[in-house]
Structure 1
Amino acid sequence: MTQPPITLPASGAFTLANLRLHRSHLDKTNGFAFDSEGFALAEVSISAGAITAIDPATDTANMPDRIDCRGAIAFPAFVDCHTHIDKGHIWARKPNPDGSFPGALTAVGEDREANWSAHDVERRMEFSLQCAYAHGTKALRTHLDSVPPQEDISWPVFETIRERWKGRIELQAACLFGIDQAQDEAWFNRLADTVARHRGVLGAVTYMVPDLDALLDRMFTKAIALGLDLDFHADETDDVNAVSLDRIADAALRHGYEGKILVGHCCSLARQPDDKVKATLDKVARAGLSVVSLPMCNMYLQDRRADATTPRWRGVTLLHEMADRGINTCVASDNTRDPFYAYGDLDVLEVYRESTRILHFDHPVGAWPATVAANPARAMGLADAGILKPGASADLILFRGRSLTELLSRPESRRTLIRAGKLIDATVPDYQDLDDLMEP
């Protein structure tokens, strides 16, 4: 029998009762009876849009202010710390010709040069955020392609979009360019000033250029001078000689950097000898780096062979080994419906579902649910996101699944979204909304 949707009172205090909350999503865990997967029955009291209490479950009978959630799992609103909403949804007009990484680079470069006006970028970014919001995302970081002249187009658009979405999705942006472009110090300084002016994050794609250490020094020095956090794409390859994650950790330690550093991909680490892996991860832990894996995009691109043979590795980095060392680990959406990934919808539940299967976030479940909530919030420097605690905004997602296998076996398209203690009726936009941008 299909259960009717949960309804909330229009005003006043109320309690969501008979909920399942995960240990990794709670600020305090004393008194809860957690099962083998880390879930406990609980109740969440809400007033004036904020959580006032989180307690172990009690009997809901004859308590009119309590809303029976029927044992459903609830997550904090999602935090998506690595996306590319400036690229999103261009597949219809510019697909990847062969599904390869070089094919993606070429296709995006051609489309950017031909089509990325302020109007085009704004429309597609708006569409992307509507998708993310409808799936339950509260905070999101996007990378913005910042190669000339795109930086002068996309950053003002982002500023407009961020203001428009204020109160719905907290937005951050990181600039994106190839690290070798920082050899042009005058251009790099202008870009860094643009990023600082828009309260952004200084980011780049790192690869093994001969002067990598000097270029990283340039980025760290500028980040320290301007008070900026750092975000790198690193080692998105199967080449065992790609060790820029190690070099980034070296630079952080060399500069005594105290800001936040998020490093994405780190695919080649999984191909390297064990002694090199251990030395690199020990250094990453000492440097306080956060790492985000992008499993769906990396499985799509990595080990794709021209002879159409079956891929032989997963393309993801070593999150278990990182977590064992206390490194802050996350998973995120990355690209959506563009030449780097033909699929995706900025649905973080899909990311977590596929991560569980690809990266074995189960048996035991451990603290892996935090990779889409508290951990990315920490990486982004967000205090009021990714965790359920008294005093925080009542931003939750209620699912129909009551266990991990129920939660991850269906798309959960009927999830209940609560923001500031109120139900939101968010609907994903129709693909037809972008048809006029996709015409040849």
Structure 2
Amino acid sequence: MDIVIRNVRIEDGKPLVDIGIKDGKIAAIEERLDKTGDQEIDADGRVALPGFIEPHLHLDKAFLHRRLPARFGTLDEAIRVTGILKAKQEREDVLARSRQVLDMAVRNGTSVIRAHPDVDPIQGLIGVETALQLKDEYRDLLDLQIVAFPQEGILKTSGVLDLMKQALAMGADVVGGCPYNELSWTDTCAHIDQVFELALKQDLDIDMHADFADDTQDQRFAAAEYIARKTIATGYQGRVALGHMTSLGARIPEEAKPVIDLLREADIHVVTLPATDLYLGGRKDEAKPRRGLTPVRALHMAGVNVAYSSNNIRNAFTPFGKADPLQIGNLLAHIVQFGTPDHQLEILKMSTANAARAVGLADRYGLAVSKQADLMILDTHAVADALLDLPPRLWVLKRGRITVVTTYESKICRECGHAHTAAHDHAEQNQKKKSAATH
């Protein structure tokens, strides 16, 4: 074996196992594996999870929060402020900010990211060009899927459709959409139709920002039903993902149910983005403010595949974030009141198995023999405690290669009463090592 991980927990209530890895894949999972590895890790009872997946992330707009700070925190302002900053995008700056996000994600155990760079006349194709460079640069650390995302609309903004075609010809993997950012419901429908036409012509998956509002009074912000029917009509079940879906959460259950049932029939993947949607949603509600989130509980109970993601990292849309799916999962669990042990496991699935389905990787993903060895070992001893502890990821592996090793030490000074500095502690540790070496 190339690597053997000893004494690792992959399921609560079951014995610890050893995981054998060969040629980038999981070759064995047994209680006491009788084979040795060129490298061996003793997990000492800690938890292993498959690598996290971020199915909806904007690299090109990350870390813009201090460039032109938002004053009101609304969606309209975020689009306007970001549009101003997009016009000033420079390749090296986009690369540097994107690397910040990717490095965070790798350290946090993420093995796959679906990035959504803007494609429009404001910034041209710089988001796609830089994402393609990073896809190659980070190929041994994570897999990067690229969505050609028309943030400024397709019909509303001249030239976007041609730029979309160029982006796909350059190597973008997925056809994106932003149907709410058109001037009329008719144009919203035409936007969706053109997205499907592009995808069908090149046999590519679809990933759209959809239903992004507090309510459903404006049809442009409530296009889920139209998209679901289009998915069924074109035979694209299982190949469409929708981000946000917030206006669906504003409907009463009787109104939402037919749409949810249609989403399940179309096998559409819903990617909720709680950090952004909570921050931007419900701002005009003076009493009983809405949470501004898709109805995760109702979708889950109906059998719709639900995943979640960070969306934006530190910009006008989301001024927070560290590209950590456990942090977002903990937030989501609080919001949707998924606190029971079973529900917490479902939240973990939303960033692992469910997210793999959403980005089309279910066939090679997971902790099972023959699956790709993308996994991490967390510093906690129960799977059920992962969302509670938000533990460091001690080891991260990508295709069977160790990519991250995390070490840390923290001590509580209960008795000494002395001030400590890093230099003092380091000298103290060195002295202890010298003393131990003489015995």
Query: TM over 0.5: same fold?
Result: yes
Match of 2:192 in 1: 216
Give the superposition deviation at 1:247.
Answer: 1.5
Match of 2:111 in 1: 138
Moved more, 265-274 or 205-214: 205-214
Task: Tell me, yes or no, if structure 1 residue 110 matches structure 2 residue 84.
Answer: yes
Which of 12, 15, 21 does residue 10 from structure 2 map onto? 21
Going from structure 1 to structure 2, the CA distance change for 1:360 and 1:192 (only over 3 Å counts) comes to farther
Task: Tell me, yes or no, if structure 1 residue 389 matches structure 2 residue 336.
Answer: no
Match of 1:129 in 2: 102
Aligned with 1:381: secondary structure? coil
Equivalent-residue separation in structure 2 for 1:420 and 1:381 (angstroms): 17
Query: 2:24–2:372: 8 Å Cα contact kept in structure 1?
Result: yes
Match of 1:353 in 2: 330
Which of 144, 148, 166 does residue 139 from structure 2 map onto? 166
Match of 2:412 in 1: none
Match of 1:400 in 2: 379
Task: Tell me, yes or no, if structure 1 residue 91 matches structure 2 residue 65.
Answer: yes
Q: Which amino acid aligns with 1:348?
A: P
Which of 205, 208, 216 does residue 232 from structure 1 map onto? 208
Q: Bigger radius of gyration, 1 or 2? A: 2
Equivalent-residue separation in structure 1 for 2:259 and 2:93 (angstroms): 41
Query: 1:79–1:386: 8 Å Cα contact kept in structure 2?
Result: no
Equivalent-residue separation in structure 1 for 2:316 and 2:136 (angstroms): 28
Match of 2:92 in 1: 119
Match of 2:403 in 1: 424
Going from structure 1 to structure 2, the CA distance change for 1:154 and 1:186 (only over 3 Å counts) comes to closer
Going from structure 1 to structure 2, the CA distance change for 1:311 and 1:337 (only over 3 Å counts) comes to farther
Equivalent-residue separation in structure 1 for 2:379 and 2:137 (angstroms): 31
Greater RCO, 1 or 2 (C-alpha within 8 Å, sep 6+): 1
Give the superposition deviation at 1:151.
Answer: 2.9
Query: 1:45–1:52: 8 Å Cα contact kept in structure 2?
Result: yes
Q: Which amino acid aligns with 1:319?
A: V
Tell me, which stretches of 5 or more residues in structure 2 are unaligned?
407-439
Give the superposition deviation at 1:311.
Answer: 7.1
Going from structure 1 to structure 2, the CA distance change for 1:303 and 1:385 (only over 3 Å counts) comes to farther
- State, as a whole percentage, how many aligned pairs show the same letter: 26
Task: Tell me, yes or no, if structure 1 residue 261 matches structure 2 residue 240.
Answer: yes
Tell me, which stretches of 5 or more residues in structure 1 are unaligned?
1-10, 23-33, 428-440
Aligned with 1:252: secondary structure? helix
Q: Which amino acid aligns with 1:213?
A: C
Q: Per-residue displacement from partner, 1:349-404 (whole Å, max 9, x unpaired)?
A: 21222222222333233533211112111111125654111122332211122235
Aligned with 2:331: secondary structure? helix
Aligned length: 397
| Equivalent residues in 2 for 1:21-420, closer than 5 Å | 21-22=10-11, 35=13, 41-55=16-30, 57=31, 68-113=42-87, 115-178=88-151, 180-182=153-155, 187-207=160-180, 209-211=184-186, 212-241=188-217, 242-257=221-236, 260-305=239-284, 312-363=289-340, 364-365=342-343, 366-383=345-362, 386-403=365-382, 406-413=385-392, 415-420=394-399
Query: Under a length normalisation based on structure 1, what TM-score does the superposition of the two structures give?
Result: 0.82
